[in-house]
Structure 1
Amino acid sequence: MAGLLTNSDKAEKRAKVVALNEKAMARFTALFEQRLGANSQHAKIHWDIAQKIGLPVFRHEDWHYTPLDKLLKTEYCFSETSLIEQECEALALQIDAYRIVLIDGRYSSALSSIDVGPFQVALLDNQDLLPDAINSEIFLHLTESLAIQPLVIHLAANEIAEKPLYLLNISSGNSDEQAVNTSQYRYHITVGANSKAQVIEHFVSLNENTHMTGGRLTVEVGDNAQFDHYKLNIENGQSQHFAHNDIIVGRDCQVKSTSFLLGSLLSRSHTSARLDGENSELELNSLLLPKGNEIADTRTYLEHNKDHCNSRQSHKVIAMDSSKAVFNGMIKVAPAALKTDGQMSNNTLLLGEKAEIDTKPQLEIYADDVKCGHGATVGRIDDEQLFYLRSRGIDGKSAKHMIIIAFAAELTESIASEELKQAVMKNIRQRLAEV
Structure 2
Amino acid sequence: MLQVVEELDNYRVDFERIKRDSTDGRPQWIDQIRTAAFGRFVERGFPATRLEDWKYTNVAPIARTPFRRAGQTWGTLPVEPFEAFTLEGVACAQLVFVNGHYTPELSSLAALPEGVTASSLATVLACNPASVEPHLAQYASYHDQAFVALNTAFMEDGAFVSIPEGTIVEAPIHLLFISSVPFDLAPVSYPRNLIVVGSHSQVRIVESYVGLKHDVYFTDAVTEIVGGENATIDYYKVQQESEEAFHVATVQAQLGRSSTFSSHAIDLGGALVRNNLDVALEGEGAECTLNGLYMVTGRQHVDNHTRIDHIQPHCRSRQLYKGILDGKSRGVFNGKIVVRKAAQKTDAKQANKNLLLSEDAVIDSKPQLEIFNNDVKCTHGTTIGQHNQEAMFYLRSRGLDLATARSLLTYAFASELLSRIKVEPVRTQLEALLLTRLCDGAAPEETP
TM-score calculated relative to the size of structure 2: 0.88
CA distance in 2, matches of 1:87, 1:412: 24
1:219 equivalent to 2:225? Answer: yes
Matched, 1:89 2:72: no
1:67 CA displacement = 1.8
Contact preservation (8 Å) 1:319, 1:351: yes
Aligned partners of 1:95 and 1:420 also within 8 Å: no
* In structure 1, C-alpha distance between the alignment counterparts of 2:84 and 2:363, rounded to whole Å: 34
Q: What is the CA–CA distance in structure 1 between the aligned matches of 2:433 and 2:66, rounded to whole Å?
A: 31
Contact preservation (8 Å) 1:340, 1:370: yes
Q: After TM superposition, give the deviation of residue 95 of structure 1 in Å.
A: 4.6
**Corresponding residue of 1:50:** 41
Query: Of the candidates 129, 132, 136, which is equivalent to residue 139 of structure 2?
Result: 132
Matched, 1:404 2:401: no
Q: Indicate if the aligned counterparts of 1:93 and 1:423 stay in contact, CA closer than 8 A.
A: no
Q: How does 1:27-106 map to 2 (within 5 A)?
A: 27-36=10-19, 40-41=30-31, 42-57=33-48, 59-79=50-70, 80-83=74-77, 86=80, 88-96=82-90, 97-106=92-101
Deviation at 1:88, TM superposition (A): 4.7
- Residue 299 (str. 1) matches residue 305 (str. 2): yes
User: Secondary structure at the residue paired with 1:224?
Assistant: coil
* Aligned residue runs from structure 1 range 94-243, under 5 A: 94-96=88-90, 97-115=92-110, 117-118=112-113, 119-122=116-119, 123=121, 124-125=124-125, 127=130, 128-129=133-134, 130=136, 131-133=138-140, 136-174=144-182, 176=184, 179-206=185-212, 208-243=214-249
CA apart distance, 1:279: 1.2
Q: Give the conservation status (yes or no) of the 8 Å contact 2:213–2:244.
A: no
Give distance in 2, aligned partners of 1:256 and 1:248: 12
C-alpha separation between the residues in 2 aligned to 1:404 and 1:345? Answer: 18
State the Cα distance separating 1:48 from its structure 2 match.
Answer: 2.8
Does residue 311 of structure 1 match 2:317?
yes
- Give the aligned partner of residue 393 of structure 1: 399
**What letter corresponds to residue 117 of structure 1 in structure 2?**
L
Structure 2 runs not aligned, ≥5 long: 443-448
Task: Point out where structure 1 has 5 or more consecutive residues left out of the alignment.
Answer: 1-13
C-alpha deviations, 1:371-421, integer Å up to 9, x for none? 111101100011111110111122222211111111112210011122111
193-202 vs 405-414, which moves further: 405-414
Which residue in 1 is equivalent to 2:292? Answer: 286
Residue 262 of structure 1 contacts residue 428 of structure 1 at CA under 8 Å; is this kept in 2? no
Encode CA deviations 1:319-361: one digit per residue, 9 max, x unaligned.
Answer: 1011000011111111110100111111110001100001111
Preserved CA contact (<8 Å) 2:159 2:192: yes
CA distance in 2, matches of 1:23, 1:233: 30
2:243 maps to amino acid: G
Inter-partner Cα distance in structure 2 for 1:147 and 1:343: 35
**Contact 2:7/2:64 (8 A) holds in 1:** yes
Q: How high is the TM-score relative to the length of structure 1? A: 0.91
SS in 2 for 1:43: helix
For 2:34 and 2:213, the matched residues in 1 are separated by 29
Cα distance, 1:114 vs structure 2: 3.4
RMSD: 2.0
- Is the 2:163–2:201 Cα contact (8 Å) retained in structure 1? yes
Q: 2-side partners of 1:108 and 1:148: how far apart?
A: 14
- Cα distance in 2 for partners of 1:396, 1:111 equals 44
Q: Amino acid of the residue matched to residue 50 of structure 1?
A: F
- Equivalent-residue separation in structure 1 for 2:213 and 2:18 (angstroms): 24
Tell me the percent identity.
Answer: 32
Between stretches 195-204 and 85-94, larger displacement belongs to 85-94
- CA distance in 1: counterparts of 2:111 and 2:38, whole angstroms: 32
> Which range moved further: 69-78 or 185-194?
69-78
Give, as a single letter, the amino acid of the residue that structure 1 aligns with 2:18.
Answer: R
C-alpha distance 319-147 of structure 1, shift in aligned 2 (>3 A): same
Number of aligned residue pairs: give it.
416
2:8 counterpart (8, 16, 25): 25
What is residue 269 of structure 1 aligned with on the other side? 275
CA pair 326-207 structure 1, distance change in 2 beyond 3 A: closer
- Asked if 2 retains the 8 angstrom alpha-carbon contact of 1:255 and 1:282, the reply is yes
Question: Contact 2:11 / 2:68 at 8 angstroms: preserved in 1?
Answer: no
Bigger shift: 395-404 or 80-89? 80-89
Residue 153 of structure 2 aligns with an amino acid whose one-letter code is S
CA distance in 1, matches of 2:272, 2:149: 19
Cα offset, 1:430, TM superposition: 3.0
The letter of the residue matching 1:341 is D
